[in-house]
Structure 1
Amino acid sequence: MTASAPPLQLDAVTAGYGPLVILDRLSLALQPDEILLVLGANGSGKSTLLKTAMGLTRLAGGRLALAGEDITAWPAHRRAAAGIGYVPQTGNVFAGLSVRDNLRMGAFLRPAAQAAAQAAVLDLFPRLAERLAARAGALSGGERRMLSIALTMMAEPRLLLLDEPSSDLAPAAIDLVFAAIDRIRRERRIPVLLVEQNVARGLALADRVVVMVRGRAAATMPVGAVTSGDLHALFLDGSVGAGGPSQP
C-alpha cells in the first residue's frame, strides 16, 4: 500500500459483459475524503464503472489499484475483504431476512466488530433501530435504501461505491439518505464514488464531478466549475461543454 496513492484508481480500463465493451480506456481517481460524482447520459457506463471497480465485469484491458496496490486480477470477494463497499441500485438487501439479520450478514467479514459496527450504522440511520425485527422486504423504499447502505457499512469499508441512492425515493427519504452519505465522508473520512440521477442533489453533495461519455471520462472538474451549459450538452447530445477534458 502507498499512503499517498488515491484510494481507488483506474488507468485505461476497458471492460464490459461478454463480448460487449462498455468502458473504453477509462481513467479516473477517487481522492481521499471526497465524494466524486459520476454523471452521464443513459448508457454512458456509469453503473458499469462501479461494477468494474468491484470486480463484477469482464476486464479487457487496463489496471485498477486500491491505495496503490494493484487489484486488477482480484475477484470481487477479495476486493470486498480489502475494503471496497458496493451498494447496487437494486438487489441490495436480503428481502426475506429481518433488518437485524441483514446487518449481521453485512458484518460477516468482521464478526468481532459487529456490535460496534451496528451501533455506528444505527446512529447513521436511527429509523432502522425501530425496525430491527421487521422483514427487509416489508420496508418502505427509503428504509430499504438506508438498510442497503447500513449493511455495507457493517463491513467497515475503506471506500464506498454507491449506485443511484436516490432512485425512486420520496424527497424526505432522499434527505435522510444524502445526509448519511455526507456524514460517512465527513465523520468517517470514507471516500465515495457516487452515481446519481438527481443531478442537483448530487452536485450539492459532491466535491468533484466526472462526466462520462460513451464509456470514457470526458471531463473531470470541481463541482463549482460545472455549468448549466455542460449539463445541457451532456444530457441532450452526450457531449461536454467548453470546460473540456481534464486529468483525473
Structure 2
Amino acid sequence: MLLAMDNVTSYYGKTPILKQFSFGLEEGKCLCVLGRNGVGKTTLMRTIMGLTDRSTGAIAINGADISAAQTYDRAKLGIGYVPQGRGILSEFTVRENILLGTFARPDSDGQIPEICLRLFPYLKANLDRRAGLLSGGQKQQLAIARALAVDPKVLLLDEPTEGIQPNIVHEIGETLMMLNKELGITLLLTEQHIKVARRLGDDFLMIDNGRVVATGAIGDLDDALIHKHLTI
C-alpha cells in the first residue's frame, strides 16, 4: 500500500475524533472519502499530515511509519495537501503561493514546476497577481498547483469542489482525473458530491462518527448506503 492507517485514533485536546481508523490506498488509485459534515473527514486529512493535537496507531507511506514525523517531513516524503478552505496566502502573489510548495522538494531550483503552469493557464498568465484577488475557483486551482509543486506521490484533497461554480467543478474534475489516470498520481479526496465521487473514484470509504462504516469499489456505492450515511 502506498498510504495506510492502522487502528488510528486522532484527538483535538482530549476528544477523539477519529476512532480505531484503518484503511489502505494502493498506488495509482483514487479513493473518495464520504460522509456527512462533522463526521471526521477533515480530521482524517489533518491526521495524515500530522496536524491534529495527537494520534495513536500507525500511519505509513510505502511501508515506512510516519506517525512521529513532523508535517514538513511528511510533505518531503511525497504527500501533497489541498486543505478545506484552500489555505491560500491572500497577500502573497500567485507565484509566491506556488513556490511555497517547492520547499518540500529535494530537487527544488527555485522555479515553478512546469506542470503547474501547463495545467492552469490562468495562473501562468497571472503569476504576479495578488492571490486574494482570485475567484474561488481560481484559488482552488492555485491550491492544487501549490500541492503539485511538492512533486507528490499522493495528493490529499479536502472537499475540492466545495463552494465552486459548476463549470469550474467540471474543470477541476477533469484536472484531477488527468493527474490520476494519466500521470499516475494517487488521490485521496473527501467529497460530498456523489456525481464527482463516482466519476473520479476507483474506491470509496464511508465515515460516520469518526469510524469507517463502509468501504468498497465505487460501483458498490449504492442508494441504500448513500441514504443511510449521507442524507440528512
Opposite residue 127 of structure 2, the aligned amino acid is L
Unaligned runs of 5+ in 1: 1-5, 238-248
Unaligned runs of 5+ in 2: none
Which residue among 41, 44, 47 is the counterpart of 2:39?
Answer: 44
Which residue among 44, 52, 55 is the counterpart of 2:50?
Answer: 55
2:71 aligned with 1:103 = no
CA distance in 1, matches of 2:104, 2:10: 28
SS in 1 for 2:7: strand
How big is each residue's C-alpha offset from its partner over 1:141-197, in whole Å with a ceiling of 9 and x where there is no partner?
A: 100000001011111011111000101100111111111111111222111110012
Q: What corresponds to 1:160 in structure 2?
A: 155
Q: What corresponds to 1:82 in structure 2?
A: 77
Do the aligned residues in 2 keep the contact of 1:125 with 1:180 (CA within 8 Å)? Answer: no
Do the aligned residues in 2 keep the contact of 1:13 with 1:59 (CA within 8 Å)? Answer: no
Identity score, percent: 36
Opposite residue 69 of structure 1, the aligned amino acid is A
| Aligned residue pairs, count | 231
Q: How is 1:206-217 mapped onto 2 (pairs within 5 angstroms)?
A: 206-217=201-212
> In terms of mean alpha carbon deviation, does 73-82 or 143-152 score higher?
73-82
How big is each residue's C-alpha offset from its partner over 1:16-72, in whole Å with a ceiling of 9 and x where there is no partner?
A: 201111001000011111110000112211110000000111334211111100111
Q: What TM-score, normalized to structure 2?
A: 0.95
Q: What corresponds to 2:113 in structure 1?
A: 118
Opposite residue 19 of structure 1, the aligned amino acid is K
Opposite residue 82 of structure 1, the aligned amino acid is L
Q: What corresponds to 1:179 in structure 2?
A: 174
Q: What's the offset of the Cα at 1:236?
A: 3.7
Do the aligned residues in 1 keep the contact of 2:36 with 2:192 (CA within 8 Å)? Answer: no
Q: CA RMSD in A?
A: 1.5
How big is each residue's C-alpha offset from its partner over 1:91-125, in whole Å with a ceiling of 9 and x where there is no partner?
A: 5212111111212222123363554x532111111
CA distance in 1, matches of 2:202, 2:213: 17
Q: What corresponds to 1:245 in structure 2?
A: none
Do the aligned residues in 1 keep the contact of 2:98 with 2:145 (CA within 8 Å)? Answer: yes
Opposite residue 13 of structure 2, the aligned amino acid is G
Q: What corresponds to 1:243 in structure 2?
A: none
Q: What corresponds to 1:141 in structure 2?
A: 136
Cα 1:60–1:120, aligned 2, differ >3 Å: closer, same or farther?
closer
2:192 aligned with 1:201 = no
Q: What TM-score, normalized to structure 1?
A: 0.89
